[in-house]
Structure 1
Amino acid sequence: MPTPPFVLRLREQVGHALLPLVGVTAVVIDPAGRILLHRRADDGRWCTPGGLVEPGEQPAATLVRELEEETGLRVHPETLVSAVMEAPYTYPNGDQVQILDLTFRCRPLSGEARVNDDESLDVRWFDYAALPPMPGRIMRRINHALEGRVGWFDRRNGPWSET
């Protein structure tokens, strides 16, 4: 995934130091109950689409923009289903990030799900029973969206959570 220009500007100031960033994730569910996934170009793994919130941008607007850019699909974010500060991550070049992920359950509005940019190798709808292997954090996001949970927060850092 290309690094957004605002992150590159920050990196000029802080080097590889830990950057807290806000990301959004879409769990898009079609009328048949299938889940939209894309296969990432950077690591080849299947996951839910999303991206980083740009300065001054609202999270739901980021989600709509990212989905259209990555998949050609226009979506309606229906509800926020989780807000979780993920564990810190270090990229191969040494850059450190920690993402506050806001996951929204979405429904498709228009367009055809397809590879629409160089960030995806494939875009497909999956039945839940046929989901490909994915990291636990991605499955957690999908499960919360399907279960209709709203406002899930990580128990490790506060009293406002469910498991």
Structure 2
Amino acid sequence: MTAVVRDGDRFLLARQSDSGRWSLVGGGVEPGEEPRAALQREVREELGVGSDIIRIVGAYGGPLLENVYPDGDHVGYVTVAYLCSLDAAAFALDEDEVLEIRWVTLAELGELDHHEWIDQVLHDAVR
């Protein structure tokens, strides 16, 4: 699940602790968990704030969401991106997952070392 948080022409990105790259906030669904609840849990865990889900932006997969793990396992992920609003502006980042956050415009996105799959998500969010 992926959270797209928008403020006018800016989007909230998080620099991930594991890769150092910029991406959107999100994560996996725990067993028995509903997708919307999973996303709200991930936002609270990573950013320390509550969120409201507005609508689905889209579902994404394909080559840009593939990964090869050190043990050789090759997997392809699928994520559903939701447009969200946040309940508060004061963040309490989980430093095990998020190094920093930043509001960026689509024009500024290209200047950051980011996961390429989020380009399509953010462009779809403004349509």
* Equivalent residues of 2:52, 2:86 under 8 A apart: yes
Question: What's the TM-score once normalised by structure 2's chain length?
Answer: 0.85
Provide closer, same or farther for how the CA distance between residues 140 and 92 of structure 1 changes in structure 2, counting only shifts above 3 A: same
Shift of 1:111: 4.6
Counterpart among 69, 72, 75 of residue 97 in structure 1? 75
Give the AA of the match of 1:144: D
Shift of 1:81: 1.1
Q: Give ranges in structure 1 of 5+ residues lacking alignment.
A: 1-23, 148-163
Counterpart among 29, 33, 47 of residue 71 in structure 1? 47
Larger RCO (alpha carbons 8 Å, 6+ apart)? 2
Mapped partners of 2:68, 2:113: distance in 1? 22
How many residues are treated as equivalent by the alignment? 123
- What per-residue deviation string (whole Å, max 9, x for no partner) do you get for residues 53-98 of structure 1? 1111111111111011111222111111111333342112323322
Question: What's the TM-score once normalised by structure 1's chain length?
Answer: 0.68
Query: Does structure 1 residue 36 correspond to structure 2 residue 21?
Result: no
- What per-residue deviation string (whole Å, max 9, x for no partner) do you get for residues 10-39 of structure 1? xxxxxxxxxxxxxx1111113x44211110
Give the corresponding residue for 2:123: 143
In terms of Rg, which structure is larger?
Answer: 1
Q: Give ranges in structure 2 of 5+ residues lacking alignment.
A: none
* Equivalent residues of 2:17, 2:95 under 8 A apart: no
Mapped partners of 1:33, 1:76: distance in 2? 19
Mapped partners of 1:130, 1:114: distance in 2? 24
Instruction: Between 132-141 and 97-106, report the one with greater CA deviation.
Output: 132-141
Shift of 1:106: 0.9
Q: Secondary structure at the match of 2:125?
A: helix
Instruction: Between 110-119 and 42-51, report the one with greater CA deviation.
Output: 110-119
Give the corresponding residue for 1:27: 4
RMSD: 1.8
Give the corresponding residue for 2:114: 134
